[in-house]
Structure 1
Amino acid sequence: MSGSKSGFTFFMLTVPTLLLYLFFFVLPVGMGIYYSTTNWDGFSLSYKFVGLKNYIDLLKDSRFLESMQFTFLYMALVVVVKLFLALLLAFFLSGSIKLRGLIRSVYFFPAVLSTITVGLIFNRIFYSVFPAIGTALGIDWLSQNLLGSKSTAIYGVAFTNIWQGVAVPMVIFIAGLASVPKDLKEAAVIDGATPVQRFFSVTLPFLIPMLTVNVVLAIKGALTVFDYIVAMTDGGPGHATESIGFLIYRHGMNEMKFGYGTAEAIYVFLLIGIISFIQIKLLSRKEVGQQ
Structure 2
Amino acid sequence: MPFAGMKAGSIFFLLTVPALVLYVLFFVFPVAMGIYYSLTDWNGFSKSYRFIGLSNYIELLGDSRFLHSLKFTFVYTGLVVVLKLGLALALALLLTGPLKLRGLFRSIFFFPAVLSMITVGLIFNQIFFSVLPPIGESLGLEWLSKNILGSKDTAIFGIVLTNVWQGFAVPMVIFIAGLASVPKDLREAATIDGASPVQRFFSVTLPFLIPMLNVNLVLAIKGGLTVFDTIVAMTDGGPAQATESIGFLIYKHGLSEMKFGYGTAEAIYVFLLIALISFVQFKFLNRKEAGQQ
- Class of the TM-score when normalised by the shorter of the 2 chains: over 0.9
Evaluate the alpha carbon distance shift between residue 73 and residue 3 of structure 1 in structure 2; reply closer, same or farther with a 3 A threshold. Answer: farther
**Residue type of the partner of 2:162?**
T
Shift of 1:2: 7.8
Residue of structure 1 equivalent to 2:112 = 110
Q: Deviation of residue 6 (structure 1)? A: 2.1
Moved more, 180-189 or 106-115: 106-115
1:172 aligns with 2:177: no
Report the residue type matching 2:167 in the other structure: G
Can you list the C-alpha shifts for 1:45-78, whole angstroms capped at 9, x where unaligned? 0000000000000000000000000000000000
Equivalent residue, structure 2, for 1:131: 133
Q: Percent identity?
A: 74
**Quick one: distance in 2 between partners of 1:46 and 1:27?**
21
SS at match of 1:120: helix
- Equivalenced residues, count: 291
Post-superposition Cα deviations, 1:126-150, rounded to whole Å, max 9, x if no partner, equal: 1011111111111111111000000
Deviation sequence 1:128-183 (CA, Å, 0-9, x none): 11111111111111111000000000000000000000000000000011100000
Residue number in structure 1 paired with 2:258: 256
**In 1, distance between residues paired with 2:5 and 2:142?**
76
Counterpart CA distance in 1 for 2:58 and 2:204 is: 48
Any runs of at least 4 consecutive aligned residues in structure 1 with deviations exceeding 4 A, and if so which? 1-4
Q: 1:208 aligns with which of 189, 207, 210?
A: 210
Summarize the alignment of residues 115-264 of structure 1 with structure 2, pairs less than 5 Å apart: 115-264=117-266
Shift of 1:3: 8.8
Q: Secondary structure at the match of 2:7?
A: helix
The unaligned stretches of length 5 or more in structure 1 are none
Cα drift, residue 28 of structure 1? 0.4
1:34 paired to 2:36: yes
Distance 1:228 1:136 in 2: 29
Q: Distance in 1 between matches of 2:97 and 2:133?
A: 37
Gap runs ≥5 in structure 2: none
Q: Counterpart in 2 of 1:65?
A: 67
Letter of the 1:276 partner, please give it. S
Q: CA 1:219 to 1:192, structure 2 compared with 1: closer, same or farther past 3 Å?
A: same
Query: What root-mean-square deviation, in Å, do the aligned CA atoms of Structure 1 and Structure 2 show?
Result: 1.1
Give the TM-score normalised by structure 2: 0.98
Cα deviation, 1:90-148, whole Å, max 9, x if unaligned, reads 00111121211111011111111111111111110110111111111111111110000
Per the normalisation by structure 1, the TM-score is: 0.98
Q: Report the Cα distance in structure 2 between the residues aligned to 1:78 and 1:3, rounded to whole angstroms.
A: 56
Alignment partner of 1:14 is 2:16:
yes
Kindly state the Cα deviation for residue 4 of structure 1 after the two structures are TM-superposed. Answer: 4.9
- Match of 1:56? 58
Query: Structure 2 CA distance, aligned partners of 1:64 and 1:79?
Result: 22
